[in-house]
Amino acid sequence: MSKPASAAQVGVICAIAAYSMWGVAPVYFKQLMVLPAAEILMHRVIWSVVLLVGFIAVLKQWPKVITALKNKRVMTILFFAGLLLGANWLLFIWAINNDHLLDASLGYYINPLINVFLGRIFLQERLRTLQRSAVILAVVGVAILVISYGELPWIALVLASSFSVYGLLRKQVAVDSLPGLFIETLMLSPLAIGYWILYGSEYSNLFNNSIDLNVLIFAAGIVTTAPLLCFTAAARRIMYSTLGFFQYIGPTLMFILAVYLYGEPLEEARLTTFAFVWLALAVFSADSIFHFRRQRIEARVQVKKMQDQATQEQAMQEQRR
């Protein structure tokens, strides 16, 4: 097996592992239902910082962290990105522990479509025909839910929008995932520690907890960083366009858990909304495949033209001799 093929296979395995871990994360957070959502977030931030210190040291990422810390613009953007990420985590945890996992699943399904929409607004990226069709289908699906229940699926929309804006901000700075997450959680840690001191519940004193509960609490750092490490490893080994096709593993697993493990109701209107969103994602994925293939063909044609031009120039030089 060639090295590129082997690297690609490892990348695919890492991508599946990353999105699968994100998809089954609700099972972990359900085990911490005795804690308020804000306290779970507090532990997630604090123990992520602790664990990331070790990973950054082992992977020798400190120079990248220091470079980012010295750049005022980068730090400002990472600060606001961190606030958005913290808000996204908080709502995600609250949704899981208040039986809104289906809403969370819907939010992460429509996240790629929100990305396209924000790219059009803020980055002036032109929407291709199929992309516009996908966005319209998703809007129709959400509209059906609004008409049926008389309210917006705000959990799904806030989760999708906050994570999309977070991604938009992160695109503005050239900071790798691991150092970036460390800085973001580090800047959130004073808020987390302040909450621990001022508003902690009866479980805030770890010495009074059972060993099982403390193990679950400490695992918050692993639940946060392990998928990211796998995602980073995958991104280095396979094309980013290929990586994008694995992103539906997470919300699909959440959907399965919500319906079949936790018994959340899937009414006809909600199922219709999911059907429209799934159709939108199918159209969106088809567009991505067509666009990628077109780019590859255009690149090959360009390379062929350059080769032909070089051959002609070489032939002309030989004729002059």
Identify the segments of the chain with pLDDT beneath 50.
none
* 3-class SS letters over the chain: CCHHHHHHHHHHHHHHHHHHHHHHHHHHHHCCCCCCHHHHHHHHHHHHHHHHHHHHHHCCCHHHHHHHHCCHHHHHHHHHHHHHHHHHHHHHHHHHHCCCHHHHHHHHHHHHHHHHHHHHHHCCCCCCHHHHHHHHHHHHHHHHHHHHHCCCCHHHHHHHHHHHHHHHHHCCCCCCHHHHHHHHHHHHHHHHHHHHHHHCCCCCCHHHCCHHHHHHHHCHHHHHHHHHHHHHHHHHHCCHHHHHHHCCHHHHHHHHHHHHHCCCCCCHHHHHHHHHHHHHHHHHHHHHHHHHHHHHHHHHHHHHHHHHHHHHHHHHHHHHC
pLDDT given for residue 115 in this prediction: 82
Residue-level pLDDT at 38: 94
Phi, psi angle pair for 158, to nearest 5° = -70, -40
- CA-nearest of 106, 119, 112, 157 to 269 is 106
pLDDT at position 5, please? 58
Per-residue confidence (pLDDT) for residue 125, from 0 to 100 = 75
Q: Give the domain ranges of the chain.
A: 3-287
Instruction: State the pLDDT at residue 32.
Output: 94
Q: What pLDDT does 100 receive?
A: 95
Contact (Cβ atoms closer than 8 angstroms) between residue 55 and residue 178: yes
The pLDDT of residue 132 is 86
Provide the pLDDT for residue 313: 67
pTM, 2 dp: 0.86
* pLDDT value of position 11: 84
